[in-house]
Amino acid sequence: MAAKKNTVQTPLHLLQELSQSLLAHLEEACILAQADAEKLLLKLDRQRAKAQEKLEAARQALEKAAAAGKAGAQAKARARIEKLELLLDALKASDRDTRNYLVQLKADIQDSLRMAQQVGKAGEDAAQALAARQEAPKAKAPRAVKPAEKAPVKKAPARAAKPKAAAAPQ
């Protein structure tokens, strides 16, 4: 088993990792948000189609009750039609709101990814700085300065003797 080299995490390493992580997380979140909005739109479309079918069935039931002259059945059919029309209106409003949200979401995604390019650039700059550091020849550690060897201390030259004054007069 090869031993892992323990590297010291520097701020450049952290910046590179954070920028990569942030970009990946942002892209994933954007994709999920858009997919969720599109799923909601499909669900609303299915609900609207079912409500439309039920409304048609209620209208046919009203026509049959009117043809048969059943006042009670007509009242029930009218009440059901009214409920279904309200439901359809609500579903159409939700559909419209969801479509508007989806358009805004797509614009936000583009803006966010455009802005995040600066984060990506910072990560690339950090990676380049780390690569340049590794490529540069490793500077040799300065040699330890040895204390200067003690040179023999030279004695100061002896003072020249003053010439003695000429013999004193006697």
CATH number for the domain spanning 91: value is: 1.10.287
- Write out pLDDT tens, residues 156-169: 555 655 555 555 55
In this prediction, residue 164 carries a pLDDT of 57
Spatial CA neighbour of 37 closest among 101, 104, 107: 101
| Between 19 and 164, residue with greater pLDDT | 19
How many domains does the chain fold into?
Answer: 1
**Is 41 inside a domain boundary?**
yes
Can you tell me the mean pLDDT for 104-126? 93
Query: Which residue segment(s) compose the domain that 29 sits in?
Result: 11-135
Phi, psi of 88 (to 5 degrees): -65, -40
**Is 141 inside a domain boundary?**
no
Which residue do the tokens 């039609």 mark? Answer: 81
In the predicted structure, residue 117 carries a pLDDT above the cut 80: yes
3-class SS at 136? coil
User: Rounded CA gap, 167 and 101, in Å?
Assistant: 125
Q: Which amino acid is at 136?
A: A
Apex CA 132: angle with CA 128 and CA 133, to 5°? Answer: 120
**Is 160 inside a domain boundary?**
no
Query: What is the DSSP code (8-state) at residue 166?
Result: S
**Is 33 inside a domain boundary?**
yes
- Write out pLDDT tens, residues 31-46: 999 999 999 999 999 9
Whether residue 49 contacts residue 87, with contact meaning beta carbons closer than 8 Å, is answered with: no
**Is 149 inside a domain boundary?**
no
In this prediction, residue 8 carries a pLDDT of 65
Q: Which amino acid is at 39?
A: K
